[in-house]
């Protein structure tokens, strides 16, 4: 069987990551990856093919439709890859609600159901669905699949999913769903490959990026996570607030001249590291800054992460290991060091040299709780899902 291609799309609020995977009789193999950045003109398409990197300024403008942007991106990709051999395109969709507990092929009914979940993930869901519709217009012949961040957390006990609100509201869907499930699924599998004994135990994974959350795993199965009904909950993030007393929202609605739109902007785009520091949403900028506001933002970030690790350890009934992943978790030793210093009482002790070098295991050999740095790969999970869905359909 000659090699065919799968293309994956991982939509964020302002970027889209594209993965290209080849497959034949053997396993999937990544052969390229790219990122389209929508934040400022000119739009940029950064493409990596083997050892080569291409930084391409697109003619499409930030206000252009996704059809126009993707059409140009596909033309650029066709200079490097034979897109005629693509058999499917897979997407990360943030919210699958209670209906979707695994990957599906996208049809009209699926798209309609996912549209209904847009209010639950207003920053990410529209971007993912917009990509699906744009590809439908450009390549209506290609099957498209959806993989859901919420699906990995369907193993939570009912008590973990509930808020202390009237039962009818829970039954209507106001409950804790959890997110970053594709990342956690990848890490669970990768930890099992690297250390099968620890992977069977109680592990907290810290997915720390612009969006950030933590997940408690027992035997590789999700038991609890920091994000709940929306991607606002849990620890502070780049521009998102994390857990917030709902009384603050009542106060702002009553006294602060806020409506739903202004609250959404405040909580999703003007809070977190950016809001506390007043400097930047990027933790690298804050680490390099000598201003006290920068230090306070980072201290709050790490304090809340450590507190969430302890809460998840309570759910799990103990802790055997912690895994740091995503952009901050994988690449920023000062953040890992600050978090683990607050968790020494749990038996977590960092090897400073290993941490500074971003090694795979960053805890001391004698530490009761192990600490790892494992790069995540959501696109690989999306590609595996897409291949399984199209193969099952023949």
Catalytic residues: 149
Asked whether 370 and 198 are in contact (CB, 8 A), the reply is yes
Q: CA 228, 233, 238: angle at the middle one, nearest 5?
A: 140
Tokens representing residue 84 in the block = 């005629």
Asked whether 96 and 105 are in contact (CB, 8 A), the reply is no
Q: Which of 327, 320, 351, 326 is nearest to 337 (CA)?
A: 351
How crowded is residue 98: how many other Cβ atoms within 10 Å of its Cβ? Answer: 12
Q: Are strands 44-49 and 29-37 parallel, antiparallel or unpaired?
A: antiparallel
Tokens representing residue 142 in the block = 């290609």
Residues 6 or more apart whose Cβ sits within 8 Å of residue 41: 61, 62
Asked whether 4 and 22 are in contact (CB, 8 A), the reply is yes
Tokens representing residue 316 in the block = 């799990």
What is the DSSP track for 373-391? E----HHHHHHHHHHHHHH
Asked whether 214 and 234 are in contact (CB, 8 A), the reply is yes
φ and ψ at residue 340, rounded to 5 degrees = -70, -30
The 3-state DSSP class for residue 57 equals strand
Residue with tokens 């847009």: 118
What is the DSSP track for 269-306? HSSHHHHHHSS-S-HHHHHH---HHHHHHHHHHHHHHH
How crowded is residue 376: how many other Cβ atoms within 10 Å of its Cβ? Answer: 24
């Amino acid at each position: 069987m000659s090699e065919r291609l799968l293309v994956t799309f991982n939509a964020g609020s302002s970027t889209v990551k594209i993965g290209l995977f080849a497959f034949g009789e053997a396993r999937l193999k990544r052969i390229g990856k790219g990122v389209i950045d929508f934040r400022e003109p000119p739009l940029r398409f950064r493409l990596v093919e083997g050892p080569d990197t291409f930084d391409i300024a697109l003619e499409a403008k930030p206000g252009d439709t996704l059809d126009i942007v993707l059409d140009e991106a596909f033309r650029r990709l066709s200079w490097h890859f034979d897109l005629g051999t693509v058999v499917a395109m897979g997407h990360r969709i943030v919210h699958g609600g209670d209906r979707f507990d695994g990957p599906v092929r996208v049809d009209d009914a699926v798209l309609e159901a996912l549209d209904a979940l847009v209010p639950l993930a207003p920053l990410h869901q529209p971007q993912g669905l917009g990509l699906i519709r744009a590809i439908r217009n450009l390549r209506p012949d290609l099957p498209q699949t959806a993989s859901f961040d919420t699906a990995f957390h369907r193993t939570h006990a009912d008590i973990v999913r509930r808020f202390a609100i009237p039962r009818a509201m829970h039954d209507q869907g106001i409950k804790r769903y959890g997110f970053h499930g594709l990342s956690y699924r990848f890490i669970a599998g990768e930890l099992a490959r690297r250390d099968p004994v620890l992977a069977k135990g109680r592990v907290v994974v810290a997915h720390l990026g612009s969006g950030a959350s933590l997940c408690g795993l027992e035997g590789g199965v999700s038991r609890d996570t920091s994000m709940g009904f929306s991607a606002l909950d849990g620890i502070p993030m780049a521009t998102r607030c994390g857990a917030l007393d709902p009384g603050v929202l009542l106060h702002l609605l009553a006294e602060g001249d806020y409506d739903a739109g202004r609250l959404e902007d405040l909580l999703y785009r003007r809070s977190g590291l950016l809001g506390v520091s007043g400097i930047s949403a990027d933790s690298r900028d804050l680490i390099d800054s000598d201003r006290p506001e920068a230090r306070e933002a980072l201290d709050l970030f790490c304090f809340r992460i450590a507190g969430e690790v302890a809460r998840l350890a309570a759910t799990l009934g103990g802790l055997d290991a912690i895994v740091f992943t995503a952009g901050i978790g994988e690449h920023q030793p000062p953040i890992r060091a600050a978090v683990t210093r607050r968790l020494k009482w749990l038996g977590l002790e960092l090897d400073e040299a290993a941490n500074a070098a971003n090694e795979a295991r960053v805890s001391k050999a004698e530490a009761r709780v192990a600490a790892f740095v494992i790069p995540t790969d959501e696109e690989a999970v999306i590609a595996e899902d897409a291949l399984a869905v199209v193969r099952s359909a023949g």
